[in-house]
Structure 1
Amino acid sequence: MNSMNLSSLLTFTRDGEWGQNKAGPGLVEMRVIRGTDFKNIQIGDISTLPVRYIPENAASRKILQPNDILFETAGGTKDQPTGRSVFLPKKIFSLSKIPLICASFSRFLRVDSEKIDPYFLYLYLNYIYNKRIIYKYHVQHTGVARFQFTQFTKEQNIPIFNTHQQRAISSIFSVLDDKIELNRRTNETLEAMARALFRDWFVDFGPTRAKMAGEAPYLAPELWELFPDGLDEEGKPEGWKTEPLDETATFLNGLALQKYPATGDTSLPAIKIAQLRSENTETADPVSPDIPDDYIVEQNDLLFSWSGSLLCKFWNGQRGALNQHLFKVTSKRFEPWFIYEWIQFYMPEFQAIAAAKATTMGHIQRRHLTESLVTIPPSNIVLAANKSIGSLIEQIQSHNGQSHTLTHLRDLLLPKLMSGEISIRDAEKMVEDAA
């Protein structure tokens, strides 16, 4: 198979800009893609991109275009060296009303599409990153780690599959990426529907207030009849109760897992705040599996980080061990979705409390859970909500599980296709069966 030097496959490459945080003369408003945004960009999500103001001369030369590849050239960590990349399809640009640029710790690669398919090149860069082939260009003496990009482009040869093979391989991974993105967007809609129903029924008491105002029913008759006709003296529907959040569920704090090092052939990944945020355990510390069963985290367990970056998620990664600063939330009385929605309702307040802490890592305390009151309806309404709101959460979890499987398949197929270990036809069949 023929190969070409990477530098000969590029028509243009420049490093990025960070710009200013405020508008001013001679500055252009742009969204900036950082290395931390790469994973979100890959699934078609630009919500994390900060808006910055870039000098006009740099903005005009460095504005990104569809089919560009972004390449991380600085930063990184011991567990995640520099050299990661992300592809920018046309649909990413349709999501932003202002131009895109990459941050100063990255650079963009503009590919000569007559020599190689840009998406195929991106896949190959991922392949040699995951195989640790390019790790030798990651240099860290002191301070911020750097990637020796110029040397890399001069020395790295890229195998040139024929045009049909390039397009076929690109199509395989495009199908996987598109399905993962579709699941994400569908889940955003389902999440919004579940949140709206929850707020209307259990926070705003919409059906009861509508009855009091003499408004027409907006729920099915059998549901409408379940809601009381009026509010009590405390302002909640008649016959409903309130309880502290921490009495509706058990909030189990994780272990100091550094005390449980992995010593044998088997281990569990330590699930910390970083893993909860990324839903990925690739760089997690291995710990002993000999911990109490309650501290084992399984798929769809409800986790709540009460320190640092406060967030609450249903776990969508592999089996692991619960680290300190995370709660595993369980309830014998209520379905997980009910507790999840109440935590999300109070999350802005929790985050404000944590942000106000005069420490390096803000947090909430147990008393804040006690002070957060939950409205408890009668069992017949809880059962009805399980069928409506609960079913939406179940669909979200199903989509998350499928996306997790597709991501695993993507990671499995990439090295096998690039090395010729598996045929394109067999890979297409595997993707067809999974998607």
Structure 2
Amino acid sequence: MRNDWVQTTVGDLIRAKGGSIKTGPFGTVLKANEYSTDGVPVISVGEIGYGSFRLHRATPRVPPAVLARLPEYVLKAGDIVFGRKGAVDRSALVRNSEAGWFLGSDGIRLRLSDECDPSFFAYQIQSPATRAWLLQHATGTTMASLNQGVIERIPVVVPPLFEQREMAGILRPLDEKIDLDRRMNQTLEALAQALFRSWFSQFISRPEVQVPVKILLDEGALAIGDGYRAKNSEMADTGLPFVRAGDVSDGFALDGADLLGDEALSKAREKVSRRGDVVFTSKGTVGRFARVTARTAPCVYSPQLCYWRPLIQDRVNPIFLWHWLRSSEFWAQAAAVKGQTDMADYVNLRDQSRMKISLPPIEDQMEIAQVLEPLDERIDHNRTESRTLAALRNMLLPKLLSGESRVRDAAAQLAASA
């Protein structure tokens, strides 16, 4: 570390330069009946990724009346938001386009003073070293959790402000390209869903194509399952990523996932991913989806997830299945059963097997698959490119923070890899 840099903590930085930490509102402050289907997104742990926010169908929202009543929970550009429970090593910087979103009960936001560059500290908090520190110092025995005290103790390096801005400026183009890929995917996804919805409308009201899911299971054309119930002792330094609900949000986020050891893999068997699987969160926040493609690294599903696996593709086309599972026909059936317990929302395997699917003839399935496959392929390519760029950013970041690499050296390395 350079001599003119200061090693301190987030709490001491706030006390020296200003800023604040705020935990999201609890149920006594924001009632369940105040959520709505429109308004601004509520950012809780399920919406927080590694460096960005991930909205999905199940993301709750609040209307303007809530924002006016609880302005202290409205997020501003430059805020850094942490997940309070579960995936506590995740955090994201609020960008200009996300200002005005609402801090959820499972979130904690850090707001620094104008004497600090928020992008620089967001990158630092997202570094592998700080993520490991958060996991090590989180509280809780059954589920890791953060509080304001833990965040205050996060160690940070504080260079002069002009150097903070220089380092953030080196890394920012990588994040901008990642964000461009994300926004392009949103457009492509909206187009694909619109095409599928328009095409599928000709079949959804025809009783002759409605097939009980159980028939497809009995035929061996389809398999449905949940994840492997792993023990903590089965986690190891080597093995396959163990995918939990927090790792799924319109794709897999396997960086930082625990590894299920080689000895346990023989017991996991059918719970190991296969190309063509469609996976969704079936407990808690129901309805976040991912698809296993040729680019997806092998992984093992946890019990918070369910998978639908097409086994006879001349009966159930994988691309058709991927889009059907995110259609209104599936969602209406899932919504009808997910709240049957007093606990968190849950769509169990029995309820899934009792569903019905409007299954067009395979020729029609293949016709729409040929239209949608190039869009799905481009979306998958963009996700892979974003992961590569994020890996490059994460490689440069610790070198910059330690002083091992100067800004001009990092700039040269980025130019060479372009």
Fold shared per TM-score above 0.5: yes
Calculate percent identity across the aligned residue pairs: 20
Paired residue secondary structure (2:392): helix
**Cα distance in 1 for residues equivalent to 2:106 and 2:211:** 50
Give, in whole Å, the separation in 2 of the partners of 1:368 and 1:36.
Answer: 23
Taking the TM superposition and a 5 Å limit, the aligned residue runs for 1:81-160 are 85-93=91-99, 96=100, 100=102, 106-113=108-115, 116-127=116-127, 130=130, 132-133=132-133, 138-139=138-139, 146-148=147-149, 152=153, 156=155, 158-160=157-159
Distance 1:280 1:31, change over 3 A: closer
Aligned partners of 1:427 and 1:368: how far apart in 2? 51
CA–CA separation in structure 2 for the residues paired with 1:322 and 1:30: 32
Match of 1:224 in 2: none
Distance 1:382 1:430, change over 3 A: farther
State the AA in 1 paired with 2:108. S
- Report the alpha carbon displacement of residue 249 of structure 1 after superposing the two structures with TM: 3.9
Report SS of the residue matched to 2:168. helix
User: Which residue does 1:211 correspond to in 2?
Assistant: none
Among 343, 361, 385, which residue is 1:377 paired with?
361
Specify the SS of the correspondent of 1:289: helix
Contact 2:77 2:94 in 1 (8 A): yes
What is the match of residue 20 of structure 2?
A: 13
Residues of 2 paired with 1:104 and 1:243: CA distance? Answer: 40
Q: Which has the larger radius of gyration?
A: 1
Structure having greater relative contact order (Cα 8 Å, sep ≥ 6) = 2
- Residue 312 of structure 2 is aligned to residue 339 of structure 1: no
One-letter identity of the residue aligned with 1:362: Y
Q: How far off is 1:279 after superposition?
A: 2.7
TM-score (norm 1): 0.70
1:263 Cα deviation from its structure 2 partner: 8.0
CA RMSD, 1 decimal: 4.3
Query: Which whole-Å CA distance do the structure 1 matches of 2:362 and 2:69 have between them?
Result: 64
Aligned-pair CA distance for 1:250: 1.9
Aligned length: 384
CA distance, structure 2, for counterparts of residue 37 and residue 176 of structure 1 = 21
Change (3 A) 1:412 1:150: closer
Tell me how far apart the structure 2 counterparts of residues 259 and 135 of structure 1 sit (CA, whole Å).
18
Question: What is the CA-CA distance between 1:191 and the residue it aligns to?
Answer: 1.9
* Equivalent of 1:302 in 268, 274, 278: 278
Aligned-partner Cα distance in 1 for 2:231–2:138: 31
Instruction: Give me the whole-angstrom Cα distance separating, in 2, the residues matched to 1:396 and 1:55.
Output: 34
Equivalent in the alignment of 2:247:
275
**1:129–1:135 Cα contact (<8 Å) kept:** no
Deviations 1:242-297 (A, max 9, x none): 54446294224246443796487632222344433483342435243335765432
List gaps (5 residues or longer) in structure 2: none
Distance in 1 (CA, whole Å) between partners of 2:299 and 2:119 is 34
254, 265, 278: which is aligned to 1:289?
265
Q: Is the 8 A contact 2:273 2:299 kept in 1?
A: yes
| Mapped pair 1:314 → 2:291 | yes
Cα 1:300–1:92 change in 2 (3 A) is farther
Look up the match of 2:377.
394
**Structure-2 separation of matches of 1:299 and 1:30:** 36
Q: Which of 382, 394, 401 is residue 411 of structure 1 equivalent to?
A: 394
CA distance in 1, matches of 2:221, 2:238: 32
Q: Note closer, same or farther for the CA distance 1:336–1:421 as it changes in structure 2 (3 Å cut).
A: farther
* Alpha-carbon contact 1:70-1:107 (below 8 Å) kept: yes
Give the gaps of 5 or more residues in structure 1: 24-28, 207-233
